[in-house]
Amino acid sequence: MAFLSQDKSMDAIRRQPSDSRIDICSYISGYVDGEGCFCVSLRPQPRIRVGWEVRPSFSVSQNDDRAELIRLLPELFGGGTIRPDRSDRTVKFEIRSLEKLIESVIPFFDSYPLLSSKRTDFELFRGVCRMMNERLHLTPSGIVLIATQAEQMNQSGLRKYSADVVAASVQR
Protein backbone atom coordinates (compact mmCIF):
# COMPACT_ATOMS: atom_id res chain seq x y z
CA MET A 1 0.00 0.00 0.00
CA ALA A 2 1.29 3.43 -0.87
CA PHE A 3 0.00 5.31 2.16
CA LEU A 4 2.48 5.85 4.97
CA SER A 5 2.67 3.77 8.11
CA GLN A 6 1.41 5.36 11.29
CA ASP A 7 4.99 5.92 12.49
CA LYS A 8 5.93 7.84 9.34
CA SER A 9 2.62 9.73 9.46
CA MET A 10 3.43 10.79 13.00
CA ASP A 11 6.77 12.14 11.81
CA ALA A 12 4.91 14.19 9.20
CA ILE A 13 3.02 16.14 11.85
CA ARG A 14 5.81 18.45 12.84
CA ARG A 15 3.66 21.18 14.44
CA GLN A 16 1.78 18.76 16.69
CA PRO A 17 3.06 17.32 19.97
CA SER A 18 4.68 13.93 19.57
CA ASP A 19 2.19 11.72 21.41
CA SER A 20 2.44 8.00 20.71
CA ARG A 21 -1.23 7.60 21.70
CA ILE A 22 -2.37 9.46 18.58
CA ASP A 23 -3.63 7.11 15.86
CA ILE A 24 -3.14 9.56 13.01
CA CYS A 25 -4.56 7.31 10.29
CA SER A 26 -7.82 6.80 12.22
CA TYR A 27 -7.88 10.53 12.92
CA ILE A 28 -7.52 11.32 9.21
CA SER A 29 -10.26 8.83 8.36
CA GLY A 30 -12.57 10.63 10.81
CA TYR A 31 -11.52 13.99 9.43
CA VAL A 32 -12.36 12.86 5.89
CA ASP A 33 -15.67 11.49 7.18
CA GLY A 34 -16.58 15.07 8.04
CA GLU A 35 -14.72 17.19 5.48
CA GLY A 36 -13.99 14.87 2.54
CA CYS A 37 -15.74 13.87 -0.66
CA PHE A 38 -15.63 10.85 -2.96
CA CYS A 39 -17.01 11.91 -6.31
CA VAL A 40 -17.53 10.41 -9.75
CA SER A 41 -18.49 12.87 -12.47
CA LEU A 42 -19.32 12.12 -16.06
CA ARG A 43 -19.17 14.49 -18.99
CA PRO A 44 -19.80 14.09 -22.69
CA GLN A 45 -16.63 13.41 -24.64
CA PRO A 46 -17.17 12.72 -28.34
CA ARG A 47 -13.57 11.53 -28.84
CA ILE A 48 -14.23 8.53 -26.56
CA ARG A 49 -16.00 5.61 -28.24
CA VAL A 50 -18.80 5.41 -25.62
CA GLY A 51 -19.12 9.21 -25.71
CA TRP A 52 -18.53 9.82 -21.99
CA GLU A 53 -15.51 10.59 -19.83
CA VAL A 54 -15.54 9.32 -16.23
CA ARG A 55 -13.69 11.44 -13.67
CA PRO A 56 -13.32 9.99 -10.17
CA SER A 57 -11.87 12.23 -7.47
CA PHE A 58 -11.20 12.21 -3.76
CA SER A 59 -10.99 15.61 -2.08
CA VAL A 60 -10.83 17.22 1.34
CA SER A 61 -11.38 20.92 2.07
CA GLN A 62 -10.61 23.07 5.09
CA ASN A 63 -10.36 26.76 5.92
CA ASP A 64 -6.85 27.96 5.13
CA ASP A 65 -6.16 29.04 8.71
CA ARG A 66 -6.74 25.42 9.90
CA ALA A 67 -5.26 23.52 6.97
CA GLU A 68 -2.29 21.81 8.68
CA LEU A 69 -3.75 18.36 8.06
CA ILE A 70 -4.56 19.17 4.43
CA ARG A 71 -0.90 19.94 3.85
CA LEU A 72 0.08 16.48 5.15
CA LEU A 73 -2.22 14.53 2.85
CA PRO A 74 0.03 14.52 -0.26
CA GLU A 75 2.73 12.88 1.84
CA LEU A 76 0.31 10.39 3.37
CA PHE A 77 -1.23 9.37 0.03
CA GLY A 78 1.92 9.71 -2.08
CA GLY A 79 0.50 12.41 -4.35
CA GLY A 80 -2.39 14.73 -5.02
CA THR A 81 -2.63 18.48 -5.31
CA ILE A 82 -3.44 21.30 -2.93
CA ARG A 83 -5.07 24.42 -4.29
CA PRO A 84 -7.16 27.32 -3.06
CA ASP A 85 -10.90 26.91 -3.66
CA ARG A 86 -12.02 30.44 -4.37
CA SER A 87 -15.72 29.51 -4.33
CA ASP A 88 -15.68 29.16 -0.54
CA ARG A 89 -12.22 30.46 0.43
CA THR A 90 -10.90 27.09 1.57
CA VAL A 91 -7.88 24.98 0.73
CA LYS A 92 -8.61 21.79 -1.16
CA PHE A 93 -6.58 18.59 -1.42
CA GLU A 94 -7.53 16.41 -4.37
CA ILE A 95 -6.48 13.19 -6.07
CA ARG A 96 -7.83 12.44 -9.55
CA SER A 97 -5.27 9.92 -10.74
CA LEU A 98 -6.95 6.51 -11.06
CA GLU A 99 -3.62 4.88 -10.26
CA LYS A 100 -3.25 6.84 -6.97
CA LEU A 101 -6.89 6.23 -6.08
CA ILE A 102 -6.46 2.47 -6.59
CA GLU A 103 -3.01 2.22 -4.97
CA SER A 104 -3.33 4.65 -2.04
CA VAL A 105 -6.76 6.08 -1.30
CA ILE A 106 -8.87 2.93 -1.55
CA PRO A 107 -6.50 0.73 0.52
CA PHE A 108 -6.27 3.48 3.15
CA PHE A 109 -10.04 3.67 3.65
CA ASP A 110 -10.33 -0.12 3.49
CA SER A 111 -7.86 -0.23 6.41
CA TYR A 112 -9.30 2.80 8.24
CA PRO A 113 -13.03 2.68 7.41
CA LEU A 114 -15.35 5.65 7.49
CA LEU A 115 -18.06 5.45 10.14
CA SER A 116 -20.77 7.73 8.75
CA SER A 117 -23.09 7.28 5.78
CA LYS A 118 -20.18 8.59 3.66
CA ARG A 119 -18.95 5.00 3.80
CA THR A 120 -21.64 4.10 1.23
CA ASP A 121 -20.29 6.80 -1.10
CA PHE A 122 -16.80 5.37 -0.62
CA GLU A 123 -17.96 1.82 -1.41
CA LEU A 124 -19.65 2.98 -4.62
CA PHE A 125 -16.56 5.06 -5.47
CA ARG A 126 -14.29 2.05 -4.88
CA GLY A 127 -16.49 -0.04 -7.18
CA VAL A 128 -16.36 2.58 -9.94
CA CYS A 129 -12.56 2.89 -9.66
CA ARG A 130 -12.20 -0.89 -9.87
CA MET A 131 -14.46 -1.01 -12.93
CA MET A 132 -12.36 1.71 -14.54
CA ASN A 133 -9.19 -0.19 -13.69
CA GLU A 134 -10.71 -3.13 -15.60
CA ARG A 135 -11.49 -0.67 -18.45
CA LEU A 136 -15.25 -1.25 -18.20
CA HIS A 137 -15.84 2.50 -18.55
CA LEU A 138 -14.92 2.08 -22.21
CA THR A 139 -17.88 -0.25 -22.88
CA PRO A 140 -21.52 0.78 -23.30
CA SER A 141 -22.77 -1.49 -20.49
CA GLY A 142 -19.91 -0.41 -18.21
CA ILE A 143 -20.49 3.32 -18.68
CA VAL A 144 -24.20 2.89 -17.92
CA LEU A 145 -23.40 0.89 -14.76
CA ILE A 146 -20.88 3.54 -13.67
CA ALA A 147 -23.39 6.34 -14.31
CA THR A 148 -26.00 4.45 -12.25
CA GLN A 149 -23.58 4.00 -9.34
CA ALA A 150 -22.37 7.61 -9.54
CA GLU A 151 -25.98 8.80 -9.36
CA GLN A 152 -26.37 7.01 -6.02
CA MET A 153 -23.43 8.90 -4.51
CA ASN A 154 -23.54 12.29 -2.75
CA GLN A 155 -27.32 12.49 -2.70
CA SER A 156 -27.27 16.11 -1.53
CA GLY A 157 -25.42 17.27 -4.65
CA LEU A 158 -26.72 18.04 -8.10
CA ARG A 159 -25.83 16.04 -11.19
CA LYS A 160 -25.63 17.64 -14.58
CA TYR A 161 -26.20 14.32 -16.39
CA SER A 162 -28.46 11.57 -15.03
CA ALA A 163 -27.82 7.88 -15.56
CA ASP A 164 -30.87 7.88 -17.87
CA VAL A 165 -29.29 10.58 -20.07
CA VAL A 166 -26.05 8.59 -20.24
CA ALA A 167 -27.90 5.35 -21.04
CA ALA A 168 -30.01 7.01 -23.73
CA SER A 169 -26.95 8.50 -25.44
CA VAL A 170 -25.10 5.18 -25.41
CA GLN A 171 -28.08 3.35 -26.95
CA ARG A 172 -28.02 5.51 -30.09
In the chain, what are the domain boundaries?
6-171
Cα of 47 vs its chain's centroid, Å: 25
- The β-bridge partners of 38 are 58
Q: What is the pLDDT of residues 140-162, one digit of tens each?
A: 999 999 999 999 998 776 788 89
pLDDT for residue 10: 42
The Cα 100–Cα 78 span in angstroms is 8
Helix intervals (H) in 83-117: 98-100, 106-111
Flag the least confident range among 6-20, 25-39, 97-111: 6-20
Please report the DSSP string for 22-37 in residue order: --HHHHHHHHHHHHEE
Query: Does residue 42 surpass a pLDDT of 70?
Result: yes
| Percentage with pLDDT > 90 across the chain | 72
Report the sign of the C-alpha dihedral through residues 29, 60, 10, 18, in that order: negative
Q: Which long-range contacts (CB under 8 A, 24 or more apart) does 76-81 make?
A: 76/3, 76/4, 76/9, 76/12, 76/28, 76/108, 77/2, 77/3, 77/104, 77/105, 77/108, 78/2, 78/3, 78/4, 78/103, 78/104, 79/104
Q: What is the pLDDT of residues 45-89, one digit of tens each?
A: 999 999 999 999 999 999 988 888 899 999 999 999 999 988 888
Select 6-171's CATH number: 1.10.10.1100, 3.10.28.10, 3.40.50.20, 3.40.50.300. Answer: 3.10.28.10
Q: How confident is the model at residue 23 (pLDDT cuts 50, 70, 90)?
A: confident
Question: Strands 52-63 and 81-85, how do they pair?
Answer: unpaired
Q: Cβ(39)–Cβ(57) under 8 Å?
A: yes
The arithmetic mean of pLDDT across residues 18-37, rounded, is: 86
3-state secondary structure of 16: coil
